[in-house]
Amino acid sequence: MGSIGGAYSPNFYDNKHYINGEYVTSKNKETYTVWNPKNGEVISDQMAIAGEDDINAAVEAAEAAYNGAWSKFSGQQRAACLMKLAAIMEEKMADILTLDSQSSGNPVSMIATREKNYIITAIKYYAGWTDKQKGDYYPDDDGFVKIVRHEPLGICAAVNPFNAPVATFIFKAAPALATGNVLIVKPSEKTPYGSLALAPLFEEAGFPKGVIQCVSGGGSTGAILASHMKIRKISFTGSVPTGQKIQIAAAKSNLKRVTLELGGKSPAVIFEDANLDNALTWTVNALLARSGQVCVAATRIYVQKSIAEQFIEKYVAKVKEAAGRLGDPQDPNTGLGPLVDHLALERVTGMIERAKNDAELVAGGNRKGDKGSFVEPTVFLNPKAGSEIIEKEVFGPVSVVKTFETEEEVIKLANDTEYGLMAGVFTRDVTRAMRVSAKLDAGVVGVNCVSYMNMQAPFGGKKSSGIGREFGEYALRAFTEPKTVLINMSA
């Protein structure tokens, strides 16, 4: 492993946080263990858990940065920093993501395409927004000129998930910095390395120290961030129960702004007139990405009865074929990696075993090997109504396929969940596509696609799948507060 932010191996980060422009030894001496999901071995048992003193130090540095030189950066200066960051990431991202894959299990084969495109696109997209933070002007027809400007919130925090830690870091940092905020990032305790390696690159790109900081730790660290009285915004991506705790802590402390991107149980609805090859490509890929450990994974497939036999035969064959690409995530020929750790393995295999009593198993269903956290891609048919496998998020490569007859029936089935993040409609009928997409309870609906996000358009969930939106102009508004200035013209 080459040098990454001064680091040569994961153990460089033992007992460290990145605070005020340097790696510092944790004040809190509690530690946790990070595992390698491909073999179950310990990567480190000395990862720091940031305590109150560590978070206070990061907040103090963030406050100094926010009120210091950073506050005087013009939009063009912020854009120049972001564009330089994009150039640095072009050079160093492969090393950072390879390091990160040691604990995430994400195949390195994803780096050159999916990961790189998402990350570089996000940085450049928000670099273009830095000098376009326009407000509003209302004339003085009542004797007062009304001006509205959008101002940064100040010190913000990001609590990120284990499945795409580096990409999520950027998705939150880019709009936060484009609007002039400062950000403290806490990656998942399962996958801390890429984020800790990424943090120093912001100073290399020209951002002042303290603008971006990264602390290591688990739920206790996230709770300190969520309840800190000087942090004005927290953006969280993860599970619904943790999101609920963060919202409560934010409300009980200082009513800090909250963005929550939570779980999903995304339906893909395939009508009889759909292009079947296209539907198969999207639904299979949407199950297998990051081994099903994505909130937008298409895990409920509803297929019209008239084409069900044909679709299911091909879908199951493709899923079984994908099992042959399951392997070592550091091998560039591997397409499917392990689940993130042994706890995820126990949860997913437990759900699979229980589902065997409620649905017909037609693909997978087994752990692969006796080392690591590998699970075969798995498909169940026609589960019982109300069963766990149709209602609960698995967060693994497990889908259910159910048949339907009418449009009204499938809309009811698709919406019969507390989740509402992503959905897909597959049809050649444009009026049906518009009609059904309007009736599906989801923050994002794909037509002839699913489990896809675009940086220009808002992303987020309805119902228990979240609050607020990321991406596009909507993310900028989540990191700013409107201020109204009233000018009395008769004074």
Contacts with 331 (C-beta within 8 Å, 6 or more apart), sequence order: 107, 108
Q: How far is CA 451 from the centre of its chain?
A: 12
Q: Please compute Rg for the chain using Cα positions.
A: 23
Q: Report the DSSP beta bridge partners of residue 150.
A: 482
- Identify the DSSP state of 321: H
Whether the CB-CB separation of 159 and 233 falls below 8 Å is answered with no
DSSP per residue over 430-457, as a string?
HHHHHHHHHHS--SEEEES--S---TTS
Q: Which residue has the tokens 């497990």?
A: 398
Q: Does the annotation count 261 as an active-site position?
A: yes
CA–CA distance, 34 with 186 (Å, rounded to integer): 15
* CA nearest to 257, candidates 146, 181, 199, 186: 181
Q: Of these residues, 115, 189, 203, 261, which one is catalytic?
A: 261
Q: For residue 6, give the 3-state DSSP assignment.
A: coil
The pair of three-digit structure tokens given for residue 92, joined into one six-digit string: 């160093």
Which run of H or of E encompasses 409? helix 407-415
Contacts with 482 (C-beta within 8 Å, 6 or more apart), sequence order: 135, 148, 149, 150, 151
CA–CA distance, 379 with 287 (Å, rounded to integer): 10
Contacts with 10 (C-beta within 8 Å, 6 or more apart), sequence order: 34, 43, 44, 99, 102, 103, 193
Q: For residue 184, give the 3-state DSSP assignment.
A: strand
Q: What angle do CA 66, 194, 191 make, to 5 degrees?
A: 110
Q: At what angle do helices 219-227 and 240-253 cross, to 10 degrees?
A: 30
CA–CA distance, 478 with 154 (Å, rounded to integer): 12
* CA nearest to 177, candidates 222, 210, 149: 210
Q: Which of the residues are catalytic? A: 261
